[in-house]
């Protein structure tokens, strides 16, 4: 009984840490966004069974933690939309430095395009992503078409990017 209780407590502690990490997913260092996106991809693959990976060949540093957190939440919403609605088998999160002070975040899936969405549940995901991008002075582009899934791309520039 004691072993079973200890195992249940260990599981509860692990779950509490996971929840707490989701409340503030990006650590305060400049590389926190990359780490958080890598964890997002791992968790999505594990929980959904959909292949999700982070493509970030070179370090991308975002000095402003608020900006990094908004970028993470944009990626999280795009990934959640792909998992829930696209019938995708693969999702790729891409984070790159396009120029010295320009960061690009892209989430692409190989599922159905937005022209063929399942019945909408009144979700506000796209509006929230656009709101977050405006808050950080970025630009959001949504590209979707038959046979090529959906890509949500965001670019930001400025002092928050190093």
pLDDT for position 110: 94
Q: What is the DSSP letter of 62?
A: B
Q: Output the pTM of the full model.
A: 0.78
Averaged pLDDT, 110-129: 70
Q: Is the pLDDT of residue 162 over 60?
A: no
Left, alpha or beta for 149 (phi > 0: left; psi -120 to 50: alpha)?
Answer: left
In this predicted model, what pLDDT tens digit does every residue of 71-81 receive, in sequence order? 999 999 999 99
Are the C-beta atoms of residues 142 and 126 closer than 8 Å to each other?
Answer: yes
In this predicted model, what pLDDT tens digit does every residue of 25-64 receive, in sequence order? 565 566 788 988 998 999 899 989 999 999 998 888 888 8
Strand-pair partners of 53: 92
| H or E stretch at 51 | strand 51-55
């Amino acid at each position: 009984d004691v072993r079973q209780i200890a195992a249940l407590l260990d599981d509860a502690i692990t779950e509490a840490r996971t929840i707490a990490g989701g409340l503030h997913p990006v650590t305060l260092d400049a590389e926190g966004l990359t780490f958080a996106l890598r964890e997002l991809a791992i968790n999505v693959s594990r929980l959904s069974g959909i292949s999700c990976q982070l493509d970030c060949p070179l370090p991308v540093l975002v000095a402003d933690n608020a900006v990094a957190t908004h970028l993470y939440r944009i990626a999280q919403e795009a990934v959640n939309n792909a998992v829930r609605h696209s019938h995708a088998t693969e999702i790729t999160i891409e984070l790159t430095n396009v120029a010295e002070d320009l960061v690009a975040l892209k989430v692409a899936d190989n599922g159905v395009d937005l022209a063929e969405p399942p019945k909408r549940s009144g979700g506000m995901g796209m509006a929230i992503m656009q709101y977050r991008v405006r808050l950080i002075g970025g630009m959001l582009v949504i590209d979707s078409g038959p046979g090529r899934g959906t890509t949500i791309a965001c670019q930001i520039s400025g002092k928050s990017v190093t």
